[in-house]
Amino acid sequence: MVQNLKNRNVKFIISGLVLLIITAFFFLNQNFYKKNKIEKNYSEFKTEFSNIHSLLTNKFEKQFNKVTSSVKKGQSLNSILTDAGASQQEIFEISKVLKKFINLKTINTNQVFEILTHKDTGEIIRLTINLDNINSLHVFKKNKEFVANKIEKVLYKKTTLAEGMINSSMYQAAEKEKIDPEVIVNFAGIFGFEIDFQRDIRRGDIFQIVYDKYVDDDGELQKNGDIIYAYMKNNGREIALYRFVDQKGIPGYYRTNGKSIEKALMKTPINGARLSSTFGMRKHPILGYNKMHRGTDFAAPTGTPIMASGSGIIEQVGWNGAYGKYIRIKHNSKYKTAYAHLNGYARGIKKGAKVRQGQIIGYVGSTGRSTGPHLHYEVLVNGKRMNSQRLKLPSGRTLRGEDREKFEISRIKIDVMRSNLIN
């Protein structure tokens, strides 16, 4: 009986193997057959897929309306949604959920809205607001109630090296090398303590910038990051600066010896301006007689940003007679700076407010006794107005101790990175 059982098991195993071989042969043959038909079937598949896609798209378009528009001057969220056919109840509910994310009273001009509505009922299905090229708000119905989500694009950091030689101006050289204008403005700001890019630049000067930029999935630039390394060879003088964040979390730019580029005050508090009048005696352009000019004038278009030349506290802001709209900053017990003929003030600029070096405090104008848009800039030392262009100012701090050690490591890493980018 045992022997019979063994024989039956052997027969069963053999039969299973034969069946497995036949099945495998069948599928291999089928796959071979299919493989030979792929090219023929692919074309048919593409056609069929295109037909289905068109059918679904047409069906979707028949059911819904999509309106894309840019915010015009004077438009509000209420008027935009009303024009799209939204009911007052829908506007109320949408406004309620959007308040958590944006100020509905200050919708930016040219901001893009995309509204999807049902063709039959006019009901809003989805509202998309592009806040900027990175962030967007999506409003849609969930369980018969509107909800809003903020979506941020996934960006990828890419460290980039840019360099060039100056033949006429820094900005023209940067444009030739296709460097983003924002990067150049930041670069000029870093060297603002040492170099006046309107007057100190010479033909043949060389610059090099290593900076971060953030791109999307398509490799398109979405925003610029920090400048990591900045180099200038200006009139034979070389300056190499490395970005470093100290133990207090304060970022700055330092020379190879660990000494900060920053000084008590910036050389010029405005970018891209022309020196139109120096400190000293001159024939007054309005009064017509010789008068001491106790400041430096920088001609620039109305609205050009003006920076605080040093950190400090706003001591005076407002109308100041012939000075027009005026700001005075107290930096310490010794130094004050004043900015006159402004068109307006930056947000948050008021008496007693703290400002940091390089912060935008106002905008070029022609208020008060003025013949055209310009900045009248004064430096006061112990209450006495001094020539800002000839004033020798104390240098910034030098890194010491643990900060210096960490800076050296960071500097070496940046040099290696820069070398790899060059190669």
Are 336 and 301 members of one domain?
A: yes
Q: Of the given ranges (79-83, 307-311, 331-335, 337-341), which has the lowest mean pLDDT?
A: 79-83
Are 148 and 169 members of one domain?
A: no
Cβ atoms of 191 and 268 within 8 Å: the answer is no
Which of 246, 275, 270 shows the shortest CA–CA distance to 258?
Answer: 246
Ranges of H-type helices in 159-203:
170-176, 181-190
CA distances from 198 to 162, 300, 304, 373 (A): 21, 12, 15, 17
- Spatial distance between the Cα atoms of 345 and 321, rounded to a whole number of angstroms: 17
Which of 242, 217, 70, 78 shows the shortest CA–CA distance to 155?
Answer: 217
Are 352 and 286 members of one domain?
A: yes
* 80 falls within a domain: yes
- Spatial distance between the Cα atoms of 235 and 197, rounded to a whole number of angstroms: 12
Condensed to tens digits (0 to 9), the pLDDT of residues 203-231 reads 899 999 999 999 888 888 888 999 999 99
- Spatial distance between the Cα atoms of 423 and 420, rounded to a whole number of angstroms: 5
For residues 57 and 395, the model is more confident at: 395
| pLDDT surpasses 50 at 331 | yes
| pLDDT surpasses 90 at 317 | yes
* 15 falls within a domain: no
- Spatial distance between the Cα atoms of 309 and 394, rounded to a whole number of angstroms: 14
- Spatial distance between the Cα atoms of 375 and 277, rounded to a whole number of angstroms: 10
Condensed to tens digits (0 to 9), the pLDDT of residues 121-157 reads 778 878 888 877 788 888 888 887 888 888 888 889 9
Residue 10: its pLDDT value, please?
A: 45
**In the predicted model, what is the mean pLDDT of residues 248-255?**
91
- Looking at 152, 172, 200, the residue that finishes a domain is 152
* 6 falls within a domain: no
For residues 97 and 22, the model is more confident at: 97
* 414 falls within a domain: no
The mean pLDDT of the chain is 79
Q: Of the given ranges (4-8, 128-132, 412-416), which has the lowest mean pLDDT?
A: 4-8
- Spatial distance between the Cα atoms of 374 and 359, rounded to a whole number of angstroms: 19
- In degrees, rounded to 5, the angle at the alpha carbon of residue 292 between the alpha carbons of residues 287 and 294 is 115
User: What is the pTM assigned to this prediction?
Assistant: 0.58
Tokens of 258: 């660990």
Which of 328, 372, 366 shows the shortest CA–CA distance to 344?
Answer: 366
pLDDT band (50, 70, 90) for residue 60: very low
Are 114 and 194 members of one domain?
A: no
Are 183 and 142 members of one domain?
A: no
Are 103 and 166 members of one domain?
A: no
What CATH number has the domain bearing residue 110? 3.10.450.350
Cβ atoms of 160 and 178 within 8 Å: the answer is no
* 131 falls within a domain: yes
Instruction: Give the phi and the psi of residue 32 in degrees, each rounded to 5.
Output: -65, -40
**In the predicted model, what is the mean pLDDT of residues 19-44?**
51
Condensed to tens digits (0 to 9), the pLDDT of residues 177-211 reads 888 888 988 888 788 777 877 677 888 999 999 99
| pLDDT surpasses 50 at 254 | yes
* 51 falls within a domain: no
Tokens 């800039």 appear where? 377
Are 296 and 230 members of one domain?
A: no
For residues 35 and 227, the model is more confident at: 227
- Spatial distance between the Cα atoms of 328 and 57, rounded to a whole number of angstroms: 62
Are 327 and 370 members of one domain?
A: yes
For residues 268 and 230, the model is more confident at: 230
Instruction: Give the phi and the psi of residue 284 in degrees, each rounded to 5.
Output: -65, 130
Cβ atoms of 104 and 139 within 8 Å: the answer is no
Are 135 and 220 members of one domain?
A: no
Cβ atoms of 198 and 375 within 8 Å: the answer is no
- Overall number of domains in the chain: 3
Residue 280: its pLDDT value, please?
A: 54
Query: How many of the other CB atoms lie within 10 Å of CB of 54?
Result: 10
What CATH number has the domain bearing residue 349? 2.70.70.10
Are 360 and 289 members of one domain?
A: yes
**191: domain range?**
156-254
Tokens 């900076």 appear where? 211
| pLDDT surpasses 90 at 406 | yes
Are 278 and 381 members of one domain?
A: yes
Are 135 and 183 members of one domain?
A: no
Longest dimension (CA), the chain: 135
* 260 falls within a domain: no
**In the predicted model, what is the mean pLDDT of residues 17-38?**
50
Query: How many of the other CB atoms lie within 10 Å of CB of 102?
Result: 17
How many residues does this entry show for the chain?
423
* 370 falls within a domain: yes
Cβ atoms of 311 and 356 within 8 Å: the answer is yes
Give the DSSP per-residue string, 292-357. Answer: EE-SEEEE--TT-EEE-SS-EEEEEEEE-GGG-EEEEEE-SSSEEEEEEEEEEE-TT--TT-EE-T
Condensed to tens digits (0 to 9), the pLDDT of residues 351-374 reads 999 998 889 999 999 999 888 899
